[in-house]
Homo-oligomer: A and B are copies of this chain.
Amino acid sequence: MRTILVLTLALAIAACGRSGEEPAAIERPTHQLATTEAYDVGAIPAYAGDHAAVYDYIDANLDRHLAAIQRWLRQKSISAQNIGVIEMAEMLRQDFEDLGFAEAELVPTDGHPGVWGYYNAGAEKTLVVYLMYDVQPVNPEDWISPPFDAGVIDHELGKVLMARGATNQKGPQRAFLNALESIIAVEGTLPVNIMIAAEGEEELGSPNYPQIVDAYEARLREADGVLFPFNSQSPDGKINMILGVKGIVYFEVIATGGAWGGPSKAEIHGSYKAIVDSPVWRLIKALSSLTSPDGNTILVPGYYDGIVPPTVEESMLINAGIENRNEEQMLEMLGVNHWIDYKTGTDAVVEFLYQPSLNIDGIWGGYTGEGVKTILPHQASAKVDSRLPPGLDPDEALDKIRQFLDAQGYADVEIRKLSGYPASQTSVEAPAVQAAISVFSKYANTINVQPRIAGSAPFYQFTERLGLPLVPTGMGFGTGAHAPNEIMLIEPGPGTQAAGLAEIEKAYVDFVYALAEAE
């Protein structure tokens, strides 16, 4: 009882700090690397295999391969708005069948269906391929080429495909299937068996992907590694390889008038604000209580507690990558003046990869049209996501936020969870990773192996649940994921070092063979 009293008071006082100068404020932890040594990617020999007949086939069929990607991009598949999703799933299934897969079937789930494909090469090794066939919503008026035209347009980097999904993720995925098609056409079969487990809800946070894994779990466990086809290059040709992703919890925060005050049924005339509480102010105050004045430190007690600091392996990878990091280029591409707190170099990388974030994806309430409308809205809402490095569980994170809002008297402010899953991590020593690095060494001069990115994907299903290494891999460049004017480079112009479509497909061919040939 006494403990509870002291604790509650401590919470109340902590709540105090946040609205002003932060007396006993929560500090965002600063993580340090575990070693100053750097991982030596150069020690891994470049892949030596030569599959000239397959490369020639790719060159001869490049227009048809490009058209296959465009066909995928022109088929809308916006999971959040349920636009074209079933049609896209069926397009995948049919493509698997046409490639000669022994199994090609839709996988029912509680949401959008998965798509399963199995190519039986009678091989010793089996590669699992994770595909996502859905894309983010669009605001077409923000695009310079319509998002579902999939036009090939001239860009300062060369010829690019512009479309929603161009790089996230249909472009590289269909390029990988083009590579498989080329091997089969030339060699009659593949050097590894392929299991494809595709979903149509990645952009929704993969709420039902576990059901797809459930359906094939025993077979998936027998595989040797998982590939996520991915455009890993910068325009300058540098490879960015990713061995992990953050987890995520995505939720809505909703303030509505009720017993605490405010209009509860509908908006009322704005002049009543003089004597009626406002749900919009309540949302603003509740949200504001969650972060420091700059919006960058999460003030929820215990939120930073579980973070796993950089391991020796991760630290060595970060040290190896830091000299090739082009910070100015990243900032320029994002239209950002500087990182938070003007961090740079290793500090910025560690901040990016080891901090949980609390981001407001959207906020809305009341009249948002043109001109003047004077109302006191009865409800206001926000969409919020928190990216979670290893050690932070999505449900525990959300519980802490709920408890903190309750402790501050915001029990009426509703939290509605939309999705959540934990982080995923693969070791650089895994054979599939070593195979990928050996192939990159053949094509690229600079290979940066990042321990993880700050983005999220449901890779934990493979790494944490099935114990398989997962490698998002591929040559090529793309940008604009989740934003207007998403592109994938198809044919590099003068000065651009990133691979074009032909080389992307040839490297996928090599990767499949490299994995088959690995010890």
- A→B interface (CB under 8 Å): 5, 8-9, 12-13, 15-17, 19-21, 79-81, 136-137, 142, 203-205, 246, 248, 250, 257-278, 280-282, 284-285, 287-288, 291, 293-296, 334-340, 343, 348, 351-353, 355-378, 380, 383, 385, 387, 409, 418-419, 453-456, 481-484
Contacts and interface: CB of A to CB of B under 8 A. Distances in A.
B269 A340 contact: no
A266 B335 contact: yes
B409 A336 contact: no
Given A80-B373, A263-B336, A336-B257, A362 B365 contact: yes
B277 A340 contact: yes
7 contacts: A12-B13, A19-B19, A258-B337, A285-B295, A362-B368, A364-B368, A374-B456
B361 A373 contact: yes
B334 A272 contact: yes
A385 to B, nearest CB: 5
Contacts of A372: 80, 203-205, 250, 361, 383, 385, 418-419
B455 A340 contact: no
B265 A482 contact: no
Main secondary structure of the interface of A (DSSP, over half): mixed
Contacts of A8: 5, 9
B364 A274 contact: no
B336 A268 contact: yes
B482 A263 contact: no
Contact of A367 (B21, B268, B383): B383
State the number of copies, please: 2
A338 to B, nearest CB: 6
A259 B13 CA distance: 19
A10 to B, nearest CB: 9
B271 A295 contact: no
A82 to B, nearest CB: 8
Given A261-B338, A263-B334, A274-B351, 16 more contacts: A12-B12, A13-B16, A13-B409, A19-B19, A19-B293, A204-B371, A270-B359, A270-B361, A270-B482, A271-B456, A274-B387, A277-B340, A278-B295, A281-B296, A281-B360, A284-B363
Among A203, A246, A366, which residue has the most Cβ atoms of chain B within 10 A? A366
Across the A-B interface, give the 3 residue pairs with the lowest CB-CB distance, nearest first. A281-B295, A265-B335, A80-B371
Contacts of A376: 359, 361
A506 to B, nearest CB: 29
A137 B272 CA distance: 19
A81 B80 CA distance: 29
Contacts of A483: 266-269, 375
A371 B377 CA distance: 22
A366 B373 contact: no
A137 B335 contact: no
B484 A266 contact: yes
A279 to B, nearest CB: 9
Given A261-B340, A373-B136, A335 B378 contact: yes
Nearest to A380: B363
Contact of A274 (B272, B352, B360, B374): B352
Contact of A19 (B16, B246, B268): B16
Contacts of A261: 336-338, 340
A374 B340 contact: no
A366 to B, nearest CB: 4
A336 to B, nearest CB: 5
B363 A366 contact: yes
A273 B482 contact: no
Contacts of A257: 335-337
A385 B79 CA distance: 38
Contact of A343 (B269, B272, B275, B360): B275
A81 B281 contact: no
Contact of A375 (B248, B267, B361): B361
Contacts of A363: 280, 284, 363-366, 368, 380
Among A246, A261, A282, which residue has the most Cβ atoms of chain B within 10 A? A261
Contacts of A380: 360, 363
